[in-house]
Chains A and B, each alone.
Chain A
Amino acid sequence: MLELNNLTAGYGSFQALFSVNLEVKEGEAIAVIGPNGAGKTTLLRTISGMLPVQSGNLSMEGTSLKDVPPYRIIDLGIAHVPENRRLFTSMSIEDNLRMGAFTPNARPHYEERLDFIFNLFPRLKERRSQIAGTLSGGEQQMCAIGRALMSSPKLLLMDEPSAGLAPVIVNQVFQLVQQIRDQGLTVLIVEQNIEQVLQIVDRAYLMEVGTIKISGKAGELIQSESLRKAYVGL
């Protein structure tokens, strides 16, 4: 579904990704793990067109994303839950969700998608007219995920959904991700919470300073001696 070949990208003259190769197949859940500053967020931002590709290729279902303007990426079925959620904090939950269905392709399905999301997260339905900034961290994450799902994406990019949340809430967020997987959606998730994320994905890539170091099945990676020593702290 999503293919990255020797992808190099970065900010201005500063490179943050160095020939990254990565593939996400339909129906898979993939994690990109690694320390802070490894380039995980940059990776997702490059896929969403927010950062220009310097060299290499990336494509979604065979369509190259290189010359697609950033605001057209969503039309190809890619939705992005950004780092720190980035909700419209002074707008209601419903307005936030409406923004998720902004594209002309998504608008006719607004009502049915809203039902789908309220079904998935009944909490949002109860609070649909509440201002997003007054929600708890976990609820805000639900809202951010819901907003991304409004466009009926094929691929969901999630940037550190567990960041900045209390441990109990972190568990809930991973349950949410599991729920989304159960819906058959393809997911590419970036996380620092390695142990937990490896339990809900099929495969994972370990990223360090802008390159992929190791990749493999989640079950195998979690057993990997070097990974455990370096990151899981066990």
Chain B
Amino acid sequence: MIFDIFLVEAIINGILFGGVLALLALGLNLVFGVVDVVWICYAELVMVGMYSIYWGNNHFELPLVICVVIAILAVALLGFLIHFLVIRPILGKPPINQLLVTGGLLFFMQSFATLLFTGDFRNLGLHLPVLELAEMYISFSRLIAFVTALLAMVALYMFLKRTYLGTAIRAISQDREVVVLMGVNPQRVYLVASALGGGLAGMGAALLILQYDVHPLIGISFGPITFMICVLGGLGNMIGGFIAAFVMSQLISLGGFFLETEWGYVIAFVFFIIMMFIRPQGLFGNRS
């Protein structure tokens, strides 16, 4: 195939998109790895974060940076509350109950957002420049999102590697019983992981609102793909999820380049289904 500058552009855009997906997948994986419950409503936390930024910026006219900080804290608190009020009472229950409860939360948050904000599409009205680089056009907002997502992931990685609490988070995802012998109170670690997962969703919201309009159903655009990335990488496997995010985003971007944008998603989802036949435990999974 001849060298094509638009192909390079598509690959770069795929990588940039992959960074944000990887961040979202990391949050979901973190919660699943530690608490062993899949938050089906994870993308709705992102939606809540996007609305808080929009609201703070548009209604209260706060500076964007302040809005972002507030949104991250607010969604972290929401993650904490979801665990404390909803997940904790059903921790020992069958997985199907947990899926149904977090699924219920999804619809609750969607409807509640519609009630508060109506179904209108809203955005910050930002116009970030587009970078032109050797005849390629790279949107500045995507670049910011990618770099910020990477920095957030590095920070989380350091936290998990270097601190006692981070080590305990990794340990508890391997053996939730034996950590108690070392003085770890699992209930506390669950709360920390849930708040962290929420904070990552808030961070994801800040990056996505640079590129997308917010509306009550925005979760549909990111929830399924985030979930599939986590499953593809092996649920709970953070490194696997990271790699899978770039695989999926590249499929979407290249599919969009060779065919049409919609085809990109079709190809990515078909790839996911085929992979589930070949490796149901995920590319890097070792759980059944």
Contacts and interface: CB of A to CB of B under 8 A. Distances in A.
Interface string B127-138: 000000000000
A98 B175 contact: no
B170 A88 contact: yes
Contacts of B183: 71-72, 74-75, 102-103, 106, 151
A140 B119 CA distance: 58
Interface string B173-213: 01101111111111000000000000000000000000000
B164 interface: yes
Contact of A50 (B168, B174, B177): B177
B118 interface: no
A96 B179 CA distance: 10
Contacts of A91: 167, 170-171, 174
Interface residues of B, number: 17
Interface string A95-109: 100111111001100
A131 to B, nearest CB: 12
Contact of B181 (A79, A90, A95, A107): A79
28 contacts: A48-B180, A50-B180, A50-B181, A70-B181, A71-B180, A71-B184, A71-B185, A74-B181, A74-B183, A75-B183, A80-B181, A82-B181, A86-B177, A86-B178, A88-B171, A88-B175, A89-B174, A91-B174, A98-B167, A99-B167, A99-B168, A99-B184, A102-B179, A102-B182, A103-B183, A106-B183, A107-B164, A147-B182
A48 to B, nearest CB: 6
A99 B179 contact: yes
Contacts of B180: 48-50, 70-71
B97 to A, nearest CB: 21
Nearest to A75: B183
A98 B164 contact: yes
Contacts, number: 65
A167 interface: no
Interface of A: 48-50, 69-75, 79-80, 82, 86, 88-91, 95, 98-103, 106-107, 147-148, 151
Contacts of A48: 180-181
Contacts of B186: 71
Contacts of B179: 99, 102
Nearest to A95: B167
Nearest to B170: A91
A74 to B, nearest CB: 4
A98 B182 CA distance: 10
Contacts of A89: 174
A75 B183 CA distance: 8
A232 B99 CA distance: 53
Contacts of B182: 74, 99-100, 102-103, 147, 151
A102 B178 contact: no
A69 B187 CA distance: 12
Contacts of B185: 69, 71
A232 B198 CA distance: 58
A90 B168 CA distance: 13
**Which of B168, B171, B179, B182 has the largest count of A CB atoms less than 10 A from its CB?**
B182
A88 B184 contact: no
Given A91-B170, A99-B168, 18 more contacts: A70-B181, A74-B181, A80-B181, A82-B181, A88-B174, A90-B174, A91-B167, A95-B171, A98-B164, A99-B179, A101-B164, A102-B164, A102-B167, A102-B179, A102-B184, A106-B183, A147-B182, A151-B182
